[in-house]
Every structure is written in structure tokens, then in C-alpha cells.
Structure 1
Amino acid sequence: MELLQSIWFYLWGLLWAVFFMTEGFDFGIGMLYPFLGKDEKDKEIMLHVLGPTWNGNEVWLISAAGVTFAAFPAVYSVMFSSLYCPIMLILFALILRGVSLEFQTHSRVETHSRASLHTIWDGCIFLGSFIPTISFGLIFGNIFKGLELDKNGLINISSIFNPYAIFTSFFFLVLFLNHGALWLSFRTEGEINKKSAKAANILWVIVFIGFILFLVSTKLLTPLYQNFISKPLLHIVVIIPFLSILLIKRFLNKEDFFKAWLCSSVAIIGFTFIGIIGLYPNMMPSVIDPSYTLTAFNSSSSLFTLKIMFGVVALFVPTVISYQIWSYTLFKDKVTKKDLGEFGY
């Protein structure tokens, strides 16, 4: 039973890591959108880069939330009730982003559409990417650090706005901005390519410093390093994202933006797993009393349910991965002004 619970714990972490990796560059481009897209053609190019993949990437969010509900119902209950405010902000922001992307695309092909509407949708695309980014950072920063949980859930909602969680939100922000700038550099050419590459180079410095500060603050302010200390071989999980971040700069200097983006993807997954491995087996740790902590062992579904769900995931996840590989392969070519169609993406 414990083996299956442990497998599900790491599957849960993997789904969140893949979501941050895939949706991270969409959020990053959305946040860069009003700043790098100085003219209408550049903004259309950015929309074309976002268009084919953003909604497919959200499948991983649905999968992660679904696994939380099915495999760890107690965690789902406490997480979605205690962290209700940031989760609802994420939900409304994602709806806003989806609507604004569609309306912005269609409004650009209507010659009578007012410029003021474009400005409104530009702002909504930014907010629909910025709010989920900082909210996810706040949520996972608190999970990594531990929450003020008792038997009834979170005691004080204001406690989630602690320095460590706020810093984690900031690190999510710069990590996703850099991830988005790298993908934009890979998929574009011309002026927008130069601007996104310049942004990626600047953001890399902040990401590198932020990662070092994340490691230091995590060591000082959270219990995550206890697992790493007890099992020194686990430090490879720290080394991999660190080396990946260094390689981002190397490939940026060579203008090999795809390899730089791949390294960024590895760094995001590695960063997430520093937290996941450090947490194990805890999922919603309580800083008030360890007896209130929800773990993979005291909050999972029955053995029968876990076995059934494992079969579903074994079928579902490879299908989604295959579809997304096909989708990314189909839209791997650079987007130029010549590709801007009459009806948007």
C-alpha cells in the first residue's frame, strides 16, 4: 500500500511540474505581451505563437487537480478550502485570459474595431497570465514552508503572505518570464526576436540569482532539506536545475534558443522536484502540530481506487504526451509577418 501511495505522490508532483513547464512559457509570453509587442504586427505574431498551444497546456492543470481529487481527496479538500482565495484568483484569471485571447485575435481582423478595445484585451492577457503565476508561487511557497493548519484547516488566511511564499511567487514570476522569452525567441525572427532574446538575457541574470536565493531561503526557512541531508544522493535533484540554468546562458550566447528553452524546461521541472522530494511524504504540512499534517499515507484513497486510477493514468498520460509532441512538432516553424492570416491563429 505504501509503495503505491508513494508512486502516486511522485506522479502528483510530476503532473504539477509538467504543468509549470508547459504553461510557464505561455504565462511568460502573456506577461511580456504588452511590453514586447510595441506595434500591432508584433502583437499578432505573439498571439500566433501562443495560439496553438495555450489551451492544450492547461490539460496538465486539469490532470494535476484531478489526481489530487481522486488519489488524495483529503489534500484536495484542505487545499481548495484553506487556499480558496488564490485558487479562485487563478480560476478567474484563466477564464479572463482565455476570453481575452479569443476576443483580441478576432478584434484585430475587424477593421472597425476600436483601439481602446485592443488596449483592454492587452491588459487582460497580461493580468490573466500574471495573476496565476504569482498565485501558484504563493500556493506552493506555502506548501513548501508549511501552513498554519489545525484539524479544521487553515487558521489564519493572512499567514499565507509570509516572506518565503512571497519570494517564491517572485521566483515563479521571473522563471516563467524567462521561459516565455526563450520560447518567443525560438518561434520568431526579426525585431520581435531581438527584443525577446534581449529580455531573456536580462531575465537569466535574475533567474540565476533568484535560484541561489531560493536554495538559501529554503535551507533556512523550511524543513525541505531534511530529506536531502538524510539521503545525500538526492542532491543531484538540486544540481540538475542549477546546471540547466547555467546552460541556458551558454545556448543564449550561441543563439540556440530551442536548446536554451529545453534547459529552462529542465530547470523548472527540477526546481519543482526540489520541493516535491523535500516534502515527501508530506503534502499539506502543518507548522502548528505535525499530527495535523496531511501526508501521502494518511490522506490517500483506498488501495482499490489507487489501482484503478493508475490504470487510467497509464492510458491517459501517454496519449496526452503523444498529442502534445505532435502539436509542438506541427507548430515548430518560426512565425513571421508573412504568416499572419486574415482570421488570426
Structure 2
Amino acid sequence: MATETSRNRCPVTDINVLPENCIANFLSLTSPPETCRLSLVASTFRSAAESDSVWERFLPSDYQDMIARASEPPVFASKKELYLSLSDHPLIIDDGTKSFSLDRRSGKKCFMLSARYLTIIWGDTPEYWRWISLPNESRFTEVAELLHVCWLEIHGKISTQMLSPDTTYAAYLVFKWAARVIGFRFEYKPAESWVRLSGSEGQSRSFHLDTNGRQRRERCVVPRRRVCHRNIIRRRQEVDALRESGQYPKERGDGWLEMELGEYLNKSGEVGELEICLQEVKDGNWKSGLILQGIEIKPKISTPVQNRWVISEGRQLEKWPHKYPTIKVFNYFGIDK
């Protein structure tokens, strides 16, 4: 009985005897973060994790076309180096009107439409908007500065075929404030935006391009009089809730602000143009001081933490509830749960 049971059990695999191309093929079925983690788990994985065959799978299928459209094509010695370069340094493509980059964790494609590429109502009227250069701050040669309008409306379009399939994208207004800002206070009516496929109905969302969101929160921290303590705490909670829900701008790592305009699920095989619109027109109040870099379209990715199977230096597969999720590899090596 014991002999028959041991025969039916799948033997533990010594990963050091596996050929490098086999390990490389396995790594290419995971993700960039998991490949980097596994390269530290066992020495056998280290060289395979550096191979071009692995990182070629993580790059989008049209990456060569994107490089050909770049103003300054990247210089790279390996596909891994190219992947990391596209994650950290966006390529300026299509005569400086767009930028292309990769989401570092997933390899999904990201694009930013420059302000010059967008349709800005009254954007070509010098009394209302002016075009300036911020060489050390913006990735594009020109940005648009709002001088004086009562009707703020911005449109952008991008082909869904340029985006990664089966991916939920979000569009963000990327901007900052000039030294003097008028007409973007919380007391005014909120702006509206939508992101939708051309010719279809999309749900609009409301938000505040509020210059004093942070100061308002800080001023609500310590009440001056006991009688107003509850009201101040309530106001602070309301502001925090709006910020967390995406109804206030958030700071980016590059020094700009971003405001989410909406999201869109790019289904595989769906062909069309994705339309993005921002409007702040209901109040009719005059506005100035907005500096617009563009609209960025990037994936919204959520990776849940769960129990996964990992490879240990003991050369066997173990189930490990690790806070850094790796990969399910038991099926690849023929080992059952």
C-alpha cells in the first residue's frame, strides 16, 4: 500500500537540473515584479531572469512601432533595460504631441496627450490662453496657461487600438497652478467630465479643481472653540472623503497635479476612438491660472495579496502567505495542490 502511494505521488523537482530556456519560458508567463523576485530566490533563476526572451514577452507587441515613432529612440543593451527605460522615461512620439510609456508593474501601455494635441475652447486666442515652455518641468516643449475665460472646455481623443486590450484605463488631467489663480474655489459649482467610446453614452462625474483643498484640511485640524469642534471635524472628514474618492486633485511624483476624469474598460477586439472631455461652464465665473500639460491615459491596476506557491532554496515548492505575492508554479512543474 505504501509503495503504491509513493509511486502515485509526484516527485519533488530539483530546479537546478532544469535547462535555462525552460526556466525562462516559465518566467515569461509571470509578470515583471514576480520575475525580479524569483531571480533572488534561487541562483538557477538569476541568469534566466535576465534573458531577452523573458522581457520580450513583457513588452507590448507593437513596441518597435512606438520606438520608430519616437523623436529620440531609446538606447538599450537588453530587452530588460528597454522595459525599465520605458517605465521610467516616457518616449515623446508623433512629432511631440504624445508620450508613450509602460506601467512598471504590469507592462501595460500608458499615453499622455499633450496640451497642443488637445482641443481647448478658445485655446488659439491669445487673450484667453497662452503657450509657454517649461523645459525642466514638462515632458513636452509647450504647455498651455489659462489667462482669462469663463467657459473652460477641453477635449481629447485616442484610438482604443493603441491601448492594451482587456485593461481598465483611467484618464487624468495633468496640470499645475500659476502664481495667481482665480475662479477655482470650492464654493463654485464643480467641473464635469466623461470618458467614453465615440458614439456611445458615458457616465459623467463631478469634481473640484480646488486650489485650497490642502489648506482647507489643515485649517480644520485644530478647533479654536469647543462649540465648533464637531463641525470642524465633520468638514475635515468631508474634505478627506472627497479627496479619497478622486473629487480633488492629487499630487504626482513629477511635481504636477492630476485629476481623474473617468475610466474605461478597453475590451479586446473593440475598435473606436476614446473621447475624453472636461467642462466647467455652469457658473460662468472668470477663471485664470491653470497650467495644462496634457491628459494622461494609464491603467488602473489592483493586485490582491493572497497565498501563492513559491520556490524555496530547498528545491521544492512551498505554499507561503507572503506579503509580496509571487506566482503559482505548481501546475507548471506537475505538482498538485
Q: TM-score, normalised by structure 2?
A: 0.22
Q: Which has the higher contact order (CA 8 A, sep 6+)?
A: 1
Larger radius of gyration: 2
Choose between structure 1 and 2: higher strand proportion.
Answer: 2
